[in-house]
Each structure stands twice: as structure tokens, then as C-alpha cells.
Amino acid sequence: MSTLKKIEDKINNHESLTKEDGLVLLRSRDILSIGKLADAEKKKKVGSKVFFNVNCHINLTNVCVSRCRFCAFSCDKESPEAYVLTAEGAMEKIRAASSALITEVHMVSGLHPDLPFAYYLEIVKSLKSEFPSIHIKAFTPVEIKYFSDISGFGIEQVLGRLKEAGLGSLPGGGAEILSHRVRHQLCPKKASSGEWLEVMRAAHRTGLRTNATLLYGHIETKEEIIDHLITLQMLQKETGGFQAFIPLPFHPANTMMDCCAMPTAFEQLRMISISRLMLNNFDHIKAYWIMSGLKTAQLSLFFGADDIDGTVVEEKIAHRAGADTATGITKEELIRLIKQTGNVPVQRDTLYKEIEAY
């Protein structure tokens, strides 16, 4: 019996895959067989639906004390490129995007050395009071941990206050690779793996749903990728609070690691499939078109992905790192891309409530 066949049997028996299984998949070149397994799992969960949302991204500041080696977005306070949006400036951007009937604001930012926690609370409150129906998905666990450090509040207090102000859920960023070795080399100043997981656990306890990510294609080993997936699988077993998993291919341009080569389409499609198969307790696997490109994102829909993210409007982080995709896309274009694959495009809100099928 081939090893892939053994893995297939386990999947059909609803068994979770082990580290050994994950490594077999990650070392395999047979992406069509792996993709077929992942596509079947996707179909068991959501049939032929593929989700998208109508959202906008906003980054309050690019000033960051962490200066991670893989980040092309951040800069020091003294840099001529440094910016900080005022609450009114942020509101103007959202007003401009609201004409497209956005249902979500996705907001992540640098760790600014001088802004107080009150600044973030004010932005969330202002946004919620002017646009009560727009869901605010904001602040990675790395930012939440930083708010706790600068405010003196515990993690649960920070989350509680943000939730009270109108925060609806957390994005999944800042996970990178949940490995001490990798974080020590690439981002020693920001939240550790344990802290990232602790914030997620606390968010789920507070009733905030979250996503989870993986940044791959830099110095990580195959073992570290699979360990990352197993760690998420275990936390999901414990809390059930994750909605979607988003594997992010690393874009090296303009970073301190520009000697790395970006993951190829082959590697990206295999990663989408492995995510679907290893994370059998996650409902949604997202192909984030901004990072993968529209073509690979569209192909990902045959390899286990059931979500293609949203309209975005103005993306800055991946584009500073060399992403050559548009910074936004229309809803009509997303619908066209999904329909071409034979799937049914379903507009969702942030919490995966279905708004309309096309």
C-alpha cells in the first residue's frame, strides 16, 4: 500500500493526520493526487461553494518597533515614509470605501512606539458609531500583546475593551512560523509563539472568532511547517474558535531577506492542499489572492481552498514586499473568477454568514 493511500484511508476514517503524514505530503511531488484528496475534503465541508467578502484594508501606521526581517512594510519613526493616520484620516478612508457596500474593515498596523492604547480604542469606537453594520476585524495577536505591554492591562482586559468598543473578530496574522528558532532569527522583538497562541486562546474565550496564518518560503524547515499546522489543529480542538486558515507565501522584495525565492505555484498549491488535509477541524482554507496572485488563487479552488478573500481596495503590506497583484479587485471580478472554476460564488460576512450566492 502506498503511503499516500494510507493517508487517504486515514482521511476517509476521519482521523487527524500526524506529523509523519504531513511530512510525506510536504515531500511529495504528486500534487494532483494530494489536490484531489484536498478538493474532496473541501467538498465534504462546503460542497461547491466558494466564499468571498466585500471588504477594505486599512493600516493605521507603518511605524513599528519590531522591524521583523521579513517585513517590507514597516519603518522607523524618523523615516520619510513613516505615517500615522489620525482617527479622522482613518474614517475618511472607510467613508471612501463604504460606497462599495463593504461589510468588513480589516485593520492591521505596525507597533508604534508612541501611540497609546486609547488611540486604537478611539478608532474602533468612531468606526462603529458611524458604520454600525460594518464588522471590524482588527489587530493581530502581536498587536494585542503590544497593547497589553503599553497599557498595563492584561490580554483579556485589552480584548474586552476592544470588544466593548466594537471589535468583531481578530485576523490571523503575526503567526509567521510558530517556532522559537525561526522567530528568534526573524522577529525576536515581537510576541513569541506561546504569546501568539495565548492571545488566540484568550480571544476565543472572550467570544471573538479569529483566523490563523502561516508565512512560509523563508528559513523554515518542513518539520517546522508541519509542527505549526499540528499546533493550530490542537488549539482548534481545544477552543473551536478559528474560522479560516490562510497559508501566506513569503514575498522577499524590499525585505532584509531578499535572497529568498518566492514559493512557486507548485509549492503554493501543495501548501493549500496540505493545509486542508492537516487542518480537518478548520472549516475554511483561504487562498489570499493578494499574496498568491489571482491565477494561483483561482487554481487553489481545485486544491482544497474554499475562500478567496475579498475586494480589499487598498493593500499595502504585500505590495511593499513586491506583490504585483492589483491592490484591490471588484466584486464582479471575484465572482467571474470563481464561476469559471465551476464553483458557486457566495458572498459572506466576516463570520461566514451567507449574504448572497451568485
- Which chain residues interact with ligand SF4 by CB under 6 A? 64, 66-68, 71, 73-74, 110-111, 142, 187, 190
- Give the 3-state secondary structure of residue 227: helix
- Smallest distance from the beta carbon of 185 to ligand SF4, in angstroms? 13
Q: Which is nearer to ligand SF4, 141 or 310 (CB)?
A: 141
Q: Which is nearer to ligand SF4, 187 or 272 (CB)?
A: 187
Q: Which is nearer to ligand SF4, 8 or 176 (CB)?
A: 176
Spatial distance between the Cα atoms of 30 and 11, rounded to a whole number of angstroms: 17
Q: Which is nearer to ligand SF4, 8 or 143 (CB)?
A: 143
Q: Which is nearer to ligand SF4, 26 or 60 (CB)?
A: 60
Q: Which is nearer to ligand SF4, 228 or 331 (CB)?
A: 228
Nearest to 190 by CA among 69, 276, 93: 69
- Smallest distance from the beta carbon of 73 to ligand SF4, in angstroms? 5
- Smallest distance from the beta carbon of 226 to ligand SF4, in angstroms? 23
- Smallest distance from the beta carbon of 190 to ligand SF4, in angstroms? 5
Strand order from edge to edge, sheet including 55-58: 55-58, 104-107, 135-138, 167-170, 209-216, 242-249, 284-285
* Angle subtended by helix axes 117-130 and 155-165, to nearest 10: 30
Spatial distance between the Cα atoms of 193 and 177, rounded to a whole number of angstroms: 8
Spatial distance between the Cα atoms of 290 and 312, rounded to a whole number of angstroms: 9
Spatial distance between the Cα atoms of 255 and 13, rounded to a whole number of angstroms: 44
Burial bucket for residue 253 (CB in 10 Å: 0-12, 13-18, 19+): middle
- Smallest distance from the beta carbon of 137 to ligand SF4, in angstroms? 16
- Smallest distance from the beta carbon of 31 to ligand SF4, in angstroms? 29
